[in-house]
Structure 1
Amino acid sequence: MERIKIIKYTSDYYQQWNDFVAHSKNATFLFHRDFMQYHQNRFEDYSLLVFQDEKLIALFPANKVDQLIYSHQGLTYGGIVVDYAIRLDKFIAVFQAVLAFYESIGIQSIQVKIIPTIYTSFPSEELNYCCFLADAKLLKTDTLAVIDLSTDFSILKNRMEGVNRGVKHGLIVKETGSFDAFWNEILLPNLAEKHKKEPVHSLEEITYLKAKFPNQIRQFNVYFQNQLVAGTTIFESDFVAHSQYIASNSTKNELGSLDFLHHYLLTEVFTTKKFFDFGISNEWAGRKLNQGLHYWKESFGARTVVQEVYAIATNKHINCNEVLL
Structure 2
Amino acid sequence: MQEEETAYQKLFLDEPFQFESGAEIPSVSIAYETYGKLNAEGTNAILICHALTGDAHASSWNNPEGREGWWDGVIGKGKAFDPEKYFIVCSNFIGSCYGTSGPPSINPTTNKKYNLSFPQMSVRDMVNLEYKLITHLGIKKLVTVSGGSLGGMQSLEWALMYPEIVQSIIPIACGARHSAWAIGLNEIQRKAIMEDPKWNGGEYTSQPSRGLTSARMLAMMTYRSNENFGNRFARNVREEVNGTPFYEVESYLHYQGQKLVSRFDANTYIYITRAMDSHDVSRGRGTLQNALSQIKAKTLSIGIDTDLLYPVNEQKEIAELVPNAEYFEIKSVYGHDAFLIEFDQLNEAIKKFLIKGF
User: Normalised by the size of structure 1, how large is the TM-score?
Assistant: 0.34
The one of the two structures with greater contact order (alpha-carbon pairs below 8 A, sep at least 6) is 1
Q: Which has the higher strand share?
A: 1
Larger Rg: 1
